[in-house]
Amino acid sequence: VVTMFWSIYIYDRELVYPKLLDNFIPAWLNHGMHTTVLPFVLIEMRTTHHQYPSRSCGLAAVCTFAVGYILWVCWIHHVTGVWVYPLLEHLSPGVKIIFFAAVTVIINIFYLVGEVLNNYIWDTQK
């Protein structure tokens, strides 16, 4: 959430969070949704030892979630005719598929980084 949202926001905020939303959603709430996630993830990582499933099961779960979320975003567009993320309106169907695949790969990489960090922080031999 943090890396994807703010990267695109810095590039062109209209692609993920149109200026019009400032009239309805205060800045503090935007940060609550897109910024505070990171410190809470870091706090949880430092205070909670997670038992990861096998790598294949973990990655399968992450991919299942990603595909489910992508399908939900596409369903909302199908029903309303509006993309939840304005960025998607500017992409051709082929580029959307590439974008969704790339995002799924990135999410999997973050999962693997989380697993490595968890094992490093909670190494029982320390």
Each residue's pLDDT tens digit, 49-64:
999 999 999 999 999 9
The predicted-structure confidence for 74-110, as pLDDT tens digits, reads as follows 999 999 999 998 899 999 999 999 999 999 999 999 9
Which tokens go with 12? 């062109």
Count structural domains, the chain: 2
Q: Are residues 4 and 31 in the same domain?
A: yes
Q: What Cα–Cα distance (Å) separates residue 103 from each residue in 20, 66, 73? A: 26, 8, 13
37 plus 66 within the same structural domain:
no
Residues 86 and 98 placed together within one structural domain of the fold: yes
Same domain, 39 and 78: no
CA distance 56 to 34: 29
Region 18-27: mean pLDDT is 91
Which residue, of 9, 27, 48, is where some domain finishes? 48
Please indicate, yes or no, whether residues 41 and 57 belong to a single structural domain of this protein: no
pTM of the model: 0.80
Mean pLDDT of the chain: 92
Whether 57 and 109 share a structural domain? yes
Segments forming the whole domain that contains residue 27: 1-48
Using CA atoms, how far apart are residues 113 and 19, in angstroms rounded to an integer? 33
